[in-house]
Amino acid sequence: MGHITTTDAGISAPSDEHSQSVGPNGPLLLQDHYLIQKMAHFNRERVPERVVHAKGGGAHGILQITEDVSQFTKAGLFQMGKETPLFLRFSTVAGEHGSADTARDPRGFAIKFYTEEGNYDLVGNNTPIFFIRDPQKFSDFIHSQKRRADTHLRDHNMQWDFWTLSPESAHQVTFLMTDRGTPASWRHMHGFGSHTFLWYNAGGEKFWVKYHFRTDQGVRNFTEAEAAAVNDLDFHIRDLHTAIASGDHPSWTVNVQVMPFEAAADYRFNPFDLTKVWPHGDYPEITIGRFVLNRNPENYFAEVEQASFEPSNLVPGIGASPDKMLQGRLFSYPDTHRYRIGPNYLQLPINAPRNEVHSYNFDGPMTYANPQDPVYAPNSMGGPVADPALFAGDSYKVAGEIIRSAYTLHAEDDDYGQPRALWENVLSETDRANLVSNIVGHAGAPEVTAEMKQRVVEYWTNIHKDLGQRVSDGL
């Protein structure tokens, strides 16, 4: 038997698989000190670039709501006719600052909406799913995609080692290995909120939602060969800036899927599992508006590099779901910004809300605006007072023993069904051929061992035997 994982204090670790939750399906707990330690340390691994999503670009724009969805949410930015300024940052995930824009990778799709009720941040990707479903595994997953400790080289064997030992990754890895893993430009790809979120209306009725941002430019992808042939590390940054500067303003249609609150409990699979999509036959997309990017940043460092996005910025009418990955990100993202940019990162112009701030936080490095006395609550001197009624709709009952566990399985929960459906029902034969070629090229790297290649074949065979056979033949 190998060594037992410990905390950094040398204490045996409780789990490297599962975060601590209220029952199998409930929210995570702040008392999960091992999860907090892993995430807090991970957030501080790089100075000063982002530990993930380091390379990217962005632009300013405007959200326009064209449909009435007040029956689902009271959030001001989603009311009929409302226009809200926004900033959107695109990025690659694994590469460093100088990496190529065209590398095979998911693309970050992070939006900050400057609403009249404060900032609302949607921190998504160009994929509707992710590689894992529990944040306990997040830093380990990213480490497998980054550089080795000894050679300082990326290692495909490490990547396949993690993926093949984590079958929940199959859906996202299938997506990644198609040509959607190499988009032709940021303008020609969809964006997704990915997580499930809570919406509640003025009457307190609750709904579960997923966000879809459909590119109005149409989807365009590179093949592996086309992406490799691009002799410009900044190809996507240049493309977006050039398009906007020339008046060709890209836009996206904003759609949502809405699930009745009560339907989640016995839905055929876990609707909060980040490795799953909701079938459109069950919950069709509803168009609620569109957004357009119409202004380039004036200073890259001030507006793109120092931009901070955090899923914990939730305005009244919108709340978190018990998606464990989302629960982890509620802590991880603002904690990262406090380290990378500083505790007063929200005072920077790109991050500052457009409405007035009345906070009891004060001092700290790089303070620009401090509150006036009193600087504590409660007080009897007329200081600001919280209004819990604004968020009355974001609560729901949870029950269960405090445990470390996977989600309770629903009737149709499994790791291979949805990627199998992607192979069988969505991909064209050209898409399938390119998927196989991309897998074989990646898993055929010199550092990938013979034993690992066999595990790769088994991984894809579990999705579909024909896919596994074609990968086996290629390898």
Which residues neighbour 441 within 8 Å (Cβ) at sequence distance 6 or greater? 224
Encoding tokens for residue 248? 């060709």
Quote the DSSP letter at residue 20. Answer: E
Residue of 53, 337, 442, 464 with catalytic role: 53
Encoding tokens for residue 23? 């029952």
Distance between CA atoms of residues 364 and 370, nearest Å = 10
Say whether the peptide bond before residue 374 is cis (omega within 30 degrees of 0): yes
**Phi, psi dihedral angles at 86 (to 5 degrees):** -145, 165
* Residues 305, 53 contacting (CB under 8 angstroms): no
Taking the chain, what is the end-to-end CA distance rounded to the nearest angstrom? 32
Encoding tokens for residue 257? 């899927």
Encoding tokens for residue 320? 């978190």
Please compute, for residue 285, the number of CA atoms within 13 A of its CA located in the half-sphere on the CB side.
13
Reply yes or no on whether 241 is catalytic.
Answer: no
Residue 203: CB atoms within 10 Å: 8
Quote the DSSP letter at residue 215. Answer: E
Residue of 43, 119, 125, 126 with catalytic role: 125
Distance between CA atoms of residues 457 and 471, nearest Å = 6
Nearest to 131 by CA among 312, 325, 410: 325
Sign of the four-CA dihedral 124, 130, 135, 137: negative
Reply yes or no on whether 53 is catalytic.
Answer: yes
Positions marked catalytic: 53, 125
